[in-house]
Amino acid sequence: MEMAVEHLKKVVNGSKLGPMTILEDLNLQVGSGAFVSVVGPSGCGKTTLLEIVAGLQEKTAGIIRIDGIPIEKSHSNRAIVFQQYGLFPWLTVRKNIEYGPKIRGVAKAKRRQISRSYIKMVGLDGFETHYPHELSGGMQQRVALARALANDPDILLLDEPFSALDAQTRENCQQELLSLWRQTGVTVLFVTHDIGEAIYLSDRVFVMSAQPGTIQASIPVKLERPRNQSVRLTPSFRDKEMLIRELIGRMNPNEKTVLA
C-alpha cells in the first residue's frame, strides 16, 4: 500500500514553557512495497511521527493517507515494532506470534499455520516453546518482527529496532529484515539514528530537522539489490553517508532539499 503524510503537525501541552511543537508541516510519501528510512537528530520527532502513523498518538493537524484514503485510528493494516521488543514474557515464541491473529478471531488451526510459517521465516525452528527470557536479544527481535508480520500488515513501522543489539547481531538482523521484506512485499517505514543502517536498508532516506521536526531532504538510494554488507565499502555508499551527515550538520530549518 502507498502511504502519504501531508502537512503533519504535532503540538503537545504540559511544558512549563507552554505548548511545544514537535512536528511542523511534515510531508513524505512512501510507494507501495518500498523500504524507506527516516533519520535525524535526537529529539526531532521521529518516534512521534511513527506513532501517529500507527494510530498510537493523535496529530494536531495534517492528513495521513493509505492508498489515498485518510486514516485516523490504529488498524491491523499497520504494525509497529519498537526497540524494546514488547514481547509478552508469559507467552512462548509460538503464542507471542499467534497473539494478534487470536485477538482478530483467527481459528486455532490457521493461527498455528501462520506461526509455523513465520517461525521458519525468521529462523527460529526449534524455539517455538521457549519464553522470551530464554532467548538472546537478536532472537527476541526476530520474534517481535514475526509477531508484527503475523497480522499480515500492509505497512510495517519500525522504531530503531536494532539499536540495542551488538554490531554482529545487528548486521544479521538487517539481513533477515531485508529477506522478510522481499518475501512479504510489505511497505516499510524505518526509523533509525544510524545513517549507515538507513542507507543499507532503504530505497530512500528522509532527513528530518531538529525540533520542530520536518522533512528537510529526500534522498534516493540507488544501490543494487539484493545487498550484502560489502556494499558499505563502495564509494557510492560512502558518498551518500557523507552527504547525509553534512545535511544533518548544516541544515537550516527553513530550507528543504529534494534530491531526485
CA distance 1 to 34: 9
Contact 22, 40 (CB under 8 A): no
Return the pLDDT at 19.
87
Per DSSP, the residues of the chain read --EEEEEEEEEE---TT--EEEEEEEEEEE-TT-EEEEE-STTSSHHHHHHHHHTSS--SEEEEEETTEE--S--TTEEEE-TT----TTS-HHHHHHHHHHHTT--HHHHHHHHHHHHHHTT-TT-TT--GGGS-HHHHHHHHHHHHHTT--SEEEEESTTTTS-HHHHHHHHHHHHHHHHHH--EEEEE-S-HHHHHHH-SEEEEEPSSSB-EEEEEE----SS--GGGGGSHHHHHHHHHHHHHHHH--TT--EE--
Return the pLDDT at 260.
43
Return the pLDDT at 256.
52
CA distance 212 to 123: 40
Global pTM reads: 0.90
Sheet architecture: strand order including 187-191 = 78-81, 155-159, 187-191, 35-39, 204-208, 215-220, 257-258
Return the pLDDT at 15.
66
Return the pLDDT at 163.
86
What is the tens place of the pLDDT at every residue in 165-191?
888 988 988 999 999 999 999 999 999
CATH topology of domain 76-188+214-238: Rossmann fold (3.40.50)
Range(s) for CATH 3.40.50.300 in the chain? 76-188+214-238
The position carrying cell 529534494 is 258
Segments in the chain below pLDDT 70: 14-15, 250-260
